[in-house]
A and B are shown apart, each in its own frame.
Chain A
């Protein structure tokens, strides 16, 4: 009775889950060359592992100079947004098996921001736009935390979607309007403005709407939906932008 069971276990352990995958990584090191180049790495990897695991294997076992950002490795900190097979994703939330491991997997830095090294970009313009929309609670009379600020469940639900943003920049760096001159506030800044504009406890909604009424504010949005497609948190980014536009228009007319 025990024999067939043993056989089965042995057969399964013999078939390795590992497959060979090519990672085609966009490398850039300004201390060596002004040009960015593609470099291929072949690795043995379980297709159920993530792109981030592949990058770790490269950095730890093959080439320690490979540079990228990551902290939590679990889709929460927002550090590892990159262009994987031409689409913005979090490396830590993208499984190898989901992105066709038969072909080389391309990994590039996100677009529209200056590349500093390999997959690391300068996030300053992105956070500049974020700071510009005042992403914090503003109240007129009392800012002192004397007691809890109560809110009905419906009022909380109004902006629930936009509270989920992890500031990964996947949306903003997928937006063709942002690629052009980098002056557009970008979807992420609008999402985070939306989070406070529609919060019943906040009192600076009017001010934030005025900020987004800017020449480089919401009106530059062309409803491409790239941002909604890119968001690893599944936020309806384009819808949030549209709600801000509507709030601006109904305020005037």
Chain B
């Protein structure tokens, strides 16, 4: 039996001369994930549950809305080349497609925003980073939803 050290090992002769002693103790490592007094006591309520249910329900509806949308826009009737002002104007003349696009806009935006909220909660480590990223996310979401809704309802096919 033999010992081979691959890399320059950081393991020194602990029984021999130690870097640290009673007067010069090794630094204490704070457990970074410990629940401290600063950790909020309770964050209960049903918000996360409703969020979870919403992701699944909106997902099911989005399968129909998004796949149908992609099919109509990109595959049927000559594919993407047919899309133009006239095509959009024709579709939005019908309340059916207005409601379809409105539902898709709201569901996809809220679904995507809530998904990204989860991702931010996962990956942003500092409270400040979280705050800023979520602020940015919510601003962009509200802006896009409002602008999209406005366009769907006020679209004027005779605009010059």
Measured between beta carbons, the chain A residues less than 8 angstroms from B53 are 249
Q: Are B6 and A32 in contact, with the CB atoms below 8 A? A: no
A39 interface neighbour in B9, B19, B20, B31, Cβ under 8 Å: B9
Q: Are A214 and B2 in contact, with the CB atoms below 8 A? A: no
A38 at interface (Cβ–Cβ under 8 A)?
yes
Interface of B is mostly: loop
A112 to B32, CA, bound (A): 10
Q: Are A219 and B19 in contact, with the CB atoms below 8 A? A: no
* With contact pairs A62-B3, A65-B14, A182-B33 given, residues A177 and B122 touching in the complex (Cβ less than 8 Å): yes
What total count of A-B pairs have CB within 8 Å? 118
14 additional contacts (CB under 8 A) given A27-B9, A213-B48: A27-B10, A29-B12, A32-B10, A33-B10, A37-B11, A38-B6, A39-B9, A41-B4, A62-B1, A65-B15, A113-B31, A114-B29, A245-B52, A249-B49
Task: Name which residue of chain B comes closest to A42, CB basis.
Answer: B2
Most buried by A among B2, B12, B20, B33: B33
A44 to B121, CA, bound (A): 47
Measured between beta carbons, the chain B residues less than 8 angstroms from A53 are none
A31 at interface (Cβ–Cβ under 8 A)?
yes
Which B residues have a C-beta under 8 Å from some C-beta of A?
Answer: 1-12, 14-15, 18-20, 26-27, 29, 31-35, 39, 42-49, 51-53, 121-123, 125
Q: Are A216 and B43 in contact, with the CB atoms below 8 A? A: yes
Which A residues have a C-beta under 8 Å from some C-beta of B?
Answer: 24, 27-33, 35-44, 57, 61-63, 65, 112-114, 116, 122, 124-125, 128, 177, 180-183, 210-211, 213-217, 219-220, 245, 248-249, 252
* With contact pairs A30-B27, A252-B49 given, residues A125 and B33 touching in the complex (Cβ less than 8 Å): yes
A38 interface neighbour in B7, B15, B31, B47, Cβ under 8 Å: B7
* With contact pairs A40-B4, A213-B46 given, residues A182 and B10 touching in the complex (Cβ less than 8 Å): no
14 contacts between A and B (CB under 8 A): A28-B10, A30-B29, A37-B7, A38-B6, A39-B5, A39-B11, A40-B6, A42-B1, A125-B33, A128-B34, A182-B33, A213-B48, A213-B49, A215-B48
Measured between beta carbons, the chain A residues less than 8 angstroms from B47 are 215
Q: Are A125 and B1 in contact, with the CB atoms below 8 A? A: no
Most buried by B among A33, A213, A219: A219
Measured between beta carbons, the chain A residues less than 8 angstroms from B2 are 42
Instruction: Say how far A83's CB is from chain B's closest CB, in angstroms.
Output: 17
Q: Are B31 and A122 in contact, with the CB atoms below 8 A? A: yes
Task: Name which residue of chain A comes closest to B33, CB basis.
Answer: A182
Q: Are A112 and B33 in contact, with the CB atoms below 8 A? A: yes
Q: Are B42 and A214 in contact, with the CB atoms below 8 A? A: yes
Measured between beta carbons, the chain B residues less than 8 angstroms from A32 are 10-12, 14, 18-19
B26 interface neighbour in A30, A37, A214, A220, Cβ under 8 Å: A30
Which 5 residue pairs spanning A and B have beta carbons closest together? A182-B33, A33-B10, A215-B43, A219-B48, A31-B26
Q: Are B14 and A214 in contact, with the CB atoms below 8 A? A: no
Instruction: Say how far B84's CB is from chain A's closest CB, in angstroms.
Output: 41
Measured between beta carbons, the chain B residues less than 8 angstroms from A248 are 49
A62 to B91, CA, bound (A): 78
A113 to B122, CA, bound (A): 16
A182 to B47, CA, bound (A): 21
* With contact pairs A27-B9, A219-B52 given, residues A114 and B14 touching in the complex (Cβ less than 8 Å): no
